[in-house]
Amino acid sequence: MTRGALAVIPAYNEAQTIASVLRGLQAAAPDVARLVVTDGSRDGTAAVVTELGERHLELVCNVGYGRAVQAGLRYAMAHGYEVVVTLDGDGQHDPRDVPRVIEALATTGADVVIGSRYMGAHYRGPAERRAGQMAFSLLTRVLLGQRIYDTTSGLKAMRASACRAVLQGRFLDFHTEVLVRLRLLGFRIAEVPIDVQERTAGRSMYSFFRALVYPVKTGLLVITGILDALLRGRAK
Amino acid sequence: MTLQGIILIDVLALLFVGFVLLLLRSGWIYAGYAALWIASSVGVALLVSVPSLLAFVTRAVGAIFPVSALTLIAFVLIFLVLILFSVKLTELHERQTELIQALALRALAEREPGSEAERARRSETPGM
């Protein structure tokens, strides 16, 4: 049995924002099923989601963004969803962009559509994040021949074939390394511009330590992803 | 090496082996890791106690003093053990994550409408 689209919303300590995200999504995309993945939250996020009667996966320990998304993708593939959309639980993404990225899968013919903050949008963000993003964007151009402007966007729509390929690989951040791997496996990636809002509640997962470690970690994953894709060949 | 140095290292190795055996007896260390540490201690003690062997190893690693060769061997050994532990930690972390995901997926499957668990709950609830 195949189903339509599933929105996977990883949430770590997002009790203050998750309700508005879910309400906004219900209003903007009523046909899209919703799955919140509460990633070891200690602030009652799971209780809020349960109270709203929303479907959720409750991870008892914090396993990180990538692994929370991975759990959501596993659920989606086990239940025959054709499209998976990921969006953040902190309210930064406008739920009205969800139908836009899903539609873009059809209009562009891509397998993955990224909601891009850096494509003609007004988003600025912290300087160090912009610099890092620019570096990874240029890296995709060099490695893939296609410049991906926003490799770390949390808003992505993916066809089931791309999800299955992602699930076969190593998981960590679900960012640049996944996009590079998918592109090397022959999947098409497109971007549509979106606007985001800075979070108003909760804590960002970005920190000074993470800003130092992230580029090195992602760089290593990109290299191993390339080797992996080359060894496996075009699996698609 | 001086006799005093040899005795000191042998005594330390003996104490170390005893300590690891105590840990093993009380179940605080896995037998595989205990074997690794005991083998390392016995190896170092043997190397120090047989002067011709230590001289050979010193020449082989290009060191001038036996102590330098021993230090190099210790560094390599500790490095390898740390790498082994990193691998084991990663393996454990992967298994833990898989378990956490599987638990969550199973719990959701049981909550979902139409599941056997959900049907059983409904049948147990009076008035339903």
pLDDT tier for residue A123 given thresholds of 50, 70 and 90: low
Q: What is the pLDDT of residue A236?
A: 45
Instruction: Please give the Cα distance from B38 to B47 (Å, whole number).
Output: 14
Q: What is the pLDDT of residue B119?
A: 66
| pLDDT at residue A1 is higher than 80 | no
Q: Does A69 touch chain B (CB under 8 A)?
A: no
Q: What is the pLDDT of residue A133?
A: 75
A221 CA: distance to closest CA in chain B (Å): 15
Instruction: Please give the Cα distance from B31 to B28 (Å, whole number).
Output: 9
DSSP-assigned beta bridge partners for residue A93: A196
A207 vs A119, residue with greater confidence: A119
B contacts of A60 (beta carbons < 8 Å): 100, 103-104
Q: ipTM more than 0.90?
A: no
pLDDT tier for residue A117 given thresholds of 50, 70 and 90: confident
Helix %, strand %, coil % for chain B, to 5?
A: 85, 0, 15
Average pLDDT over chain A reads: 86
The distance of Cα A232 from the centroid of its chain, to the nearest Å, equals 24
**Phi and psi of A223, rounded to 5°?**
-60, -50
The average pLDDT across A187-201 equals 83
Q: Does B105 touch chain A (CB under 8 A)?
A: yes
| pLDDT at residue A230 is higher than 70 | yes
Q: Does B98 touch chain A (CB under 8 A)?
A: no
DSSP-assigned letter for residue B127: T
A contacts of B101 (beta carbons < 8 Å): 57, 59, 63, 67, 70-71, 74
Instruction: Please give the Cα distance from B119 to B104 (Å, whole number).
Output: 19
| DSSP sequence for B47-103 | HHH-HHHHHHHHHHTT-SSHHHHHHHHHHHHHHHHHHHHHHHHHHHHHHHHHHHHHH
Which tokens is A13 given? 């300590």
A214 vs A44, residue with greater confidence: A44
Say how many C-beta atoms besides its own lie within 10 A of residue B67's C-beta. 13
Q: Which residue of B has its CA nearest to A79?
A: B109
| pLDDT at residue A209 is higher than 90 | no
Q: Are A7 and A85 in contact (CB under 8 A)?
A: yes
* pLDDT tens-place string over residues A164-182: 999 987 766 788 888 888 8
Which tokens is A29 given? 């995309």
Q: What is the pLDDT of residue B128?
A: 47
Q: Are A18 and A89 in contact (CB under 8 A)?
A: yes
The residues, any chain, with a CB within 8 Å of residue A103's CB and separated by 6 or more, are none
Handedness of CA A151, A152, A156, A161 (dihedral sign): positive
Quote the crossing angle between the two packed helices B51-60 and B66-111, to the nearest 10°.
80
B83 CA: distance to closest CA in chain A (Å): 17
Amino acid at the residue B63 = A
Q: For chains A and B, count residue pairs whose Cβ atoms are closer than 8 Å.
A: 34
Q: What is the pLDDT along chain B (128 residues), one digit of tens a residue?
A: 788 989 999 999 999 999 999 999 999 999 999 999 999 999 999 999 998 999 999 999 999 988 899 899 989 989 999 999 999 999 999 999 999 999 999 999 998 877 666 666 667 665 54
| pLDDT at residue A54 is higher than 70 | yes
* pLDDT tens-place string over residues A127-166: 766 777 778 788 888 888 888 888 889 999 999 999 999 9
Q: Name the pairing type of β-strands A81-86 and A189-193.
A: unpaired
Q: What is the pLDDT of residue A235?
A: 47
Mark yes or no for CB contact A61/B96 under 8 Å: yes
